[in-house]
Amino acid sequence: MRDSTQQYRALLSQVAARATAYLEDAQARRVAPDDEVVGRLRQWDGAFPDEPMDALALVEMLDSMAGPATVINAGGRFFGFVNGGALPGSLAASWLVNAWDQNAGMMISSPAGAVLEEIALRWTAEILGLPEGCGGGIVTGATMANFSAILAARHAILMRQGWDVEIDGLFGAPPVDVVVSDEVHASFLKALSLAGLGRERVRRVPVDGQGRMRTDRLPKLTPHTLVAIQAGNVNTGSFDPAGEICDDAHDIGAWVHVDGAFGLWATASPTYRHLTDGFAKADSWAMDGHKWPNAGYDCGIVLVREADHLRAAMSASAAYLVSDGRHNPMNYAPEMSRRARGIELWATLRSLGKSGLAALIERTCSYAQRFAEDLRKAGFTILNEVVINQVLVSFGKPERTLAVVKKVQDEGTCWAGSTLWQGQTAMRISVSSWATTEADVDKSLAAIIRAAKETET
Ligand SMILES: *Cc1c(COP(=O)(O)O)cnc(C)c1O
């Protein structure tokens, strides 16, 4: 069955019209859907239907039923996790990429995918001030970027000890010691478990009141150590003292990995760049495109100083796979076949340019300051030094803070989640979207303060 050009025209113009209406409506909608709307989707949960369905009817069904059950990332008032909202350039590129349906695993199967991925990776390294000659891959998110970097480090550390982990596996292998901070992100521990290094087989370094690794408590490192540091704590936004840690680690030949999911992008702003001093000295870096740069989901980036280690960790051999000396993305990531995310990252970065990216970072940081100042003025406690885009606010007793978070989420003007910060329950506000405006901040502050007043005891 082949749709005629005419059918594509009708179908895709319908998609464009509906998607446009969704985005235009995004500002007015409740940020998170209520349970009833989500529950309606269960109507589809019957047996797998016998008959095919026309694509136009599918679009209508999805838009009317699933659209209302979405979280409005696009509206500028979602402050949960560290979610961006796809930039117009990123969204538009992703539509094209989907029409092209490229398999970006190899240059030969998607020249555009492979070339633009290479350029996007090089630009990312340039933006972040990382060494020329580093290389990497584009994956689904920082979790997979952390995982990929761990595999590169594992390869390098074991190879130095004469062990080929890709061929012989981990049973009987020499040890790889892992050092993390007490504030390590859960995704890094997950990545360690995926890599066979064990989630709890780590040495944890205590942190200070902002969640920064305490260098005076760094354990003895060896050439077999992988030290993981953070640029941008997921709660406070704080940065580990990278320069000192990298110097200590490199004196002994240890590997330093940076989980820089969102924070490392602060390098793009002349105002905030000093916060990321020293991180470029590390050996590998994990970033998200779908957080601060506001690429659409899903987009993570791994970069490795000596990319051959990543390549060795990700290599595969089969007679039909080409090894043509060109940049084949599948040699730098766990996946073989995959969508051409590199094109979307290229489009995201190209649409912003240096000045646009710096402005996005600075604007979201200044809104975070506004949140902190106005909530403090309203009598609430800001638990962190607001160094970038993350704000932790306590409304008093844990129960009250949780009640305020729930009220805010149910009321729907904006959305923020809760967290536990060094024993204190907090609302966590992450300003990460290009779409957030001053007016969004005003409205959201009013909604949060209203909710807090209503929970006064
Ligand atoms: C978000 C985040 C991750 C995980 O990223 P995903 O894109 O969800 O895989 C890892 N580390 C930090 C610091 C993060 O903020």
Atom 2 of ligand 1, nearest CA residue: 261
Task: Tell me the pLDDT band of 327, cut-offs 50, 70 and 90.
Answer: confident
3-state SS class at 430: strand
- Calculate how far, in angstroms, residue 259's C-alpha sits from the geometric centre of ligand 1: 8
Q: Is residue 80 part of a domain?
A: no
Q: For residue 234, give the ligand 1 atom closest to its CA.
A: 15
- Judged by DSSP in three states, 312 sits in helix
Residues 364 and 315 in one domain: no
Count up the domains in the chain and report the number: 3
% pLDDT > 90, the chain? 94
CATH number, position 221 = 3.40.640.10
pTM of the model as a whole: 0.97
Examine the pLDDT at 429 and tell me if it is beyond 70: yes
Indicate whether 262 and 142 sit together in one domain: yes
Q: For ligand 1, which residues put their CB under 6 angstroms from it?
A: 82, 141-143, 185, 187, 230, 232, 234, 259, 261-262, 288, 300
User: How far is the centre of ligand 1, averaged over its atoms, from the C-alpha of 3 (Å)?
Assistant: 40
Could you tell me the pLDDT band of residue 101, with boundaries at 50, 70 and 90?
very high
pLDDT computed for residue 325 by the predictor: 73
Pair (338, 405) in one structural domain: no
> Rounded to the nearest 5°, which phi and psi values hold at 343?
-65, -40
- Is residue 343 within 8 A of residue 119, CB to CB? The reply is no
DSSP 78: B
Domain that holds residue 107: 93-349
Residue 405 tokens, joined: 């978070």
What would the pLDDT profile of 382-421 be if each residue is shown by its tens digit?
Answer: 999 999 999 999 999 999 999 999 999 999 999 999 999 9
Average pLDDT over residues 42-63: 96
pLDDT single digits (tens) 285-321 = 999 999 999 999 999 999 999 999 999 999 887 666 6
Domain assignment present for residue 87? The answer is no
Give the per-residue pLDDT at 379: 97
**Is residue 21 predicted with pLDDT exceeding 70?**
yes
State the pLDDT confidence band at 357, using cuts at 50, 70 and 90.
very high
User: Which atom number of ligand 1 is nearest to the Cα of residue 232?
Assistant: 13
Q: pLDDT value at position 317?
A: 72
What Rg, from alpha-carbon coordinates, does the chain have? 23
pLDDT class of 326 with cuts at 50, 70, 90:
confident
Task: Please choose, from the candidates 157, 208, 206, the residue with its C-alpha nearest in 3D space to the C-alpha of residue 178.
Answer: 157
Q: Supply the residue whose CA is at minimum distance from atom 1 of ligand 1.
A: 261
CA of 147 to the centre of ligand 1 (A): 11
Ligand 1 atom with minimal separation from the 185 CA? 11
Residues 271 and 400 in one domain: no
Ligand 1 geometric centre to CA of 183 (Å): 13
**Residue 81, CB-side half-sphere exposure with 13 Å CA sphere:** 12
**How many angstroms is it from 145 CA to the middle of ligand 1?**
9
Answer whether residue 322 shows pLDDT above 70. Answer: no
Write out pLDDT tens, residues 178-214.
999 999 999 999 999 999 999 999 999 999 999 999 9
45/149 same-domain check: no
What's the 399 CA to ligand 1 centre distance in angstroms?
A: 27
Residue 401 belongs to some domain of the structure: yes
312/375 same-domain check: no
Q: Answer yes or no: do 136 and 37 share one domain.
A: no
